[in-house]
Structure formats: structure tokens, C-alpha cells
A and B are shown apart, each in its own frame.
Chain A
Amino acid sequence: MADRRPITLRVNGQELSGSAEPRMTLADFLRDELGLTGTHLGCEHGVCGACTVLMDGRSVRSCLMFAVQAEGHELTTVEGLAAPDGSLSPLQEAFSTNHALQCGFCTPGFLIAVTEYLAEGAPGVDDEATLRARLSGNLCRCTGYQNIVTAVRDAAERMRRSP
């Protein structure tokens, strides 16, 4: 196997290692080398947002990074959003109670992108245009976004009530 590089990084609080050719995208590495298949690939050219993960707390498209670039970084994927005891995060809860997912394929990307937004204090969450613009980097074909908008507001409210 040509030129595989060892890669060590922290994913969802755990130190994990694997190896990859430099050209392997972070998304493929997470999925195929680390078995974290919750991160989905919808376009592989940085438009759909399904592959979004947090790197050092910031959302990034994992299809637009190479695995070697994540060496030593701290990642959060959809598998890391629920509490260790399996209980869903307020955002995951809000997605379910508000029916903000149908096929669920784009959902991991939305959850990650919105997790970042909520961590910033969800600026402008009550303004329709602001919130929708913030969500516009993730494509969804099932929900028409309406229940996602509702769920994000619900999650922001849940977090305000019990931070």
C-alpha cells in the first residue's frame, strides 16, 4: 500500500489511530478506517454538508479535508453527540420531538452544524431569515427545513432553560 501515514487524533473524546494515504479524505478515514459511519457523504465536493464534523470545536466539511490534516486534532462526529449513557443531546431530542428528520441522511451534518451554532449561543435564532441563512449550508431533501427550524429553536430554548 503506497505511502500510508499513521494518524492519531481524538474523536468524540477518545484517542484513535489509523493510517491513510495522504489523499484519503477525512470523511473516508472516519467512515472506513475508524468505522464511524454516522458521518455521511452526499456530494464529496463540499456543497451538501452531510459530512460536517467539528474539528477543535468548529464545523468543517470532512470531504474537503484530508485525514492527514486532522492529525493531533480533536473531532466530534454525530456518534459523539449523545451522553456516554446514551441519552440524547437536547438538540437530538428536539430533532426527534419536532420530526426534523425523515430519511435522516443529512441529519448528522445538520446536528453537527447546529451544535456549533448552539454553542455560540444561537445568535439570531428567533429571526427567521438569520436562522435559515445559518442552516443554508446543509441540504435536506425530505423535511423542507421547516421542522429543522422548529427543532433548532426548541433546542436553543431547552438549553436556555437548563444550560
Chain B
Amino acid sequence: MKPAPFEYERPESLGEAVGLLAEHGEEAKLLAGGQSLVPLLALRLASPSVLIDLNGVRELDHLRLEGDRLAIGAMTRHRDVEEMAELRTRCPMLVEGVSLIGHVTIRNRGTVGGSLAHADPAAEWPSLVLALEGEIDATGPEGVRTIPAEEFFETYFTTALAPDEIVSEVRLRIPESPRVGSCFLELARRHGDFALAGVGALLELDSSGSITDARVTLIGVRDRAVRSSGAESVLVGARPDAEVFAEAAEAIDPEIEPVSDIHGTSEYRRHLAKVLVRRALALATERAGGV
């Protein structure tokens, strides 16, 4: 299991990287953390003729929380986000979601931008940027354009990125209210495996305990990560209780289309997603100070 030969480029600036990508076009692949790409190369399921390694592009490695905006450079490692102390209490959904990516050794190397651009429908990051009103900067020969998360993920391993664009930064909004509660739950065959289904939930309650804001995102159940407007519209304005959670869970039905594989059929994944929606909403409510 050895990769086929390729040419190797190691730009040191984003501009240089964009130039190389433009030069080599479709023959080239960007190498970020490599935790998904290198296995594909080893199995010779991918054999690009040029690899453009972004690990030397320092400007893509940054992580800043300013007010409610979290700016993450594309080459930021998962582990850096996971370890950011302020996030643990402010946004458990984010930290929990990230900590469910593979194992520590994978998270030490894998990058946020790489995960977004790879757009695996069972990956955590796409759902997190959907839930946290993310916007993604794509840098190409013409400069930077900002793509809202909901327009970024198109289908399996396919994004709104043009072939000559590189994800350079993603910005998330991290809610600050003490009445916000969130979590990320998954069911996977083993710890660290891709989820059979996963759910991120974030709820904000008002002083009377009613839901004023709700985000429900799902992974592993469609050709891309899903933010469930169906579930969210059931929740907003309602009082958080088991009945409402169950109704919200049912509301994801038309929004998901899981596929079957040896670890779980479509039907089973659908069932798990609903179970997880209920459980995640209950936990998020608890964390928001509700009951």
C-alpha cells in the first residue's frame, strides 16, 4: 500500500499556493492534514500528479475568539480548537463535536479547512459550521470570496469551492448568553469511528424557559451535513419537553436521506438520528438551565 508517484510543491504563502493551484489545475490536490487524503493515496484510490502541501503556509494557521466571532485559519488543527479553554463552557457542541473526530493523533494533524473542503457527509465540521452560522473564505486568483456555510456543502465530497480556490478561513458565531445550551452526540460502532448518525443541538431559552433559538444539525444521514429547519421550527417558541423533542425528531424525516452500508442501513440511521435528536435536545436544554 504505497502511493503512486506525484510532484510535490510546498508553498509558503497563500498567494503562492493559489498560484500553484492555478498552474496545475485539476491534476493537483491540496494536502492539508492528510488524514483523509493520504489513506486514499496509499490505497491508490486517488493518484493526483501534483500535491500542493499547505503545511508551510503559516498565515492559514490561526485561531482567534473576538467577542462572539471565532476565526479559524484553514490549517488550524482540530486539536487546537478542542483545547481552546474558552470554548469548553461557551460552546460544548463545538468542543464535543471536534473531540469526536477520530482520535487524538488524528486531531493533532487533521485540519479544519481540510475537513470542510473534503466535505465528508459523516464528518463533524460541516455540521458545526452550519450550526454556528459559519462563513467560509475561499481564496482564488481573483481574491477572497466569502461563502455562507449553508451554500458551501453541495453533495458527497463536493463543495461550492471553484477548482482554483482554497479554503483560507472559517468564521463562526459563538453564542454568549448563559441561557444557551448545546451538545454534540454521535453513535458510532466504536469510539472514533465515523458516526452512523450524529446530532449537534443548540438551544437558547428565555427567562420563562421557552425556546428562543434552536439549531439542529445532523451528520451521516444525507449526501451532506444537514441543518434541520423542520426540527428548528418545531422548537422555536415551544417549551422544551419530551413531547416537543419527539416532534422535532420526527420533523427531520423529509430532510434526510441516509444511505446503507455494512455498518447500518438507511432505515436504521434514520432511526438513530431521531433518537439522537431527542437526546441531544434534552441535554442541550439541561445545559441551558432548563429542565
Instruction: Report the Cα distance A59→B38, complex, angstroms.
Output: 17
Instruction: Report the Cα distance A145→B2, complex, angstroms.
Output: 30
Chain B binding site: helix, strand, loop or mixed by DSSP?
Answer: loop
Instruction: Report the Cα distance A117→B108, complex, angstroms.
Output: 12
**B191 close to chain A: CB less than 8 A:** yes
Knowing A58-B79, A60-B109 touch, does A45 contact B8 (C-beta < 8 A)?
no
Of the listed stretches A100-108, A133-141, A151-159, chain B binds A133-141
- Report, as a range, how many residues of chain A touch the other chain: 20 to 34
Q: Is the CB of A49 within 8 A of B105?
A: yes
Number of interface residues of B (CB under 8 A): 30
Instruction: Report the Cα distance A2→B106, complex, angstroms.
Output: 31
Contacts of B34 in A (CB 8 A): 64-66, 69
Q: Is the CB of A46 within 8 A of B6?
A: no
Instruction: Report the Cα distance A117→B103, complex, angstroms.
Output: 12
Contacts of A68 in B (CB 8 A): 8, 10, 53
**A23 close to chain B: CB less than 8 A:** yes
Query: Of B10, B39, B79, B104, which is within 8 A of A137 by CB?
Result: B104
Q: Is the CB of B109 within 8 A of A22?
A: no
Knowing A23-B5, A65-B109 touch, does A45 contact B43 (C-beta < 8 A)?
yes
Contacts of B39 in A (CB 8 A): 45-46, 64
Q: Is the CB of B6 within 8 A of A133?
A: no
Q: Is the CB of A136 within 8 A of B190?
A: yes
Knowing A22-B6, A136-B191 touch, does A63 contact B42 (C-beta < 8 A)?
yes
Contacts of A66 in B (CB 8 A): 8, 34, 38, 53
Q: Is the CB of B8 within 8 A of A61?
A: no
The winner among B5, B8, B102 for most chain A CB atoms within 10 A is: B8
Query: Of A44, A59, A134, A136, which is within 8 A of B108 by CB?
Result: A59
Contacts of B38 in A (CB 8 A): 25, 46, 63-66
User: 9 closest Cβ contacts across the A-B interface?
Assistant: A137-B103, A22-B8, A45-B39, A44-B1, A58-B108, A64-B38, A59-B105, A136-B191, A23-B3
8 A-B contact pairs sorted by A residue (CB < 8 Å): A25-B38, A44-B1, A46-B38, A66-B38, A66-B53, A68-B53, A136-B192, A137-B106
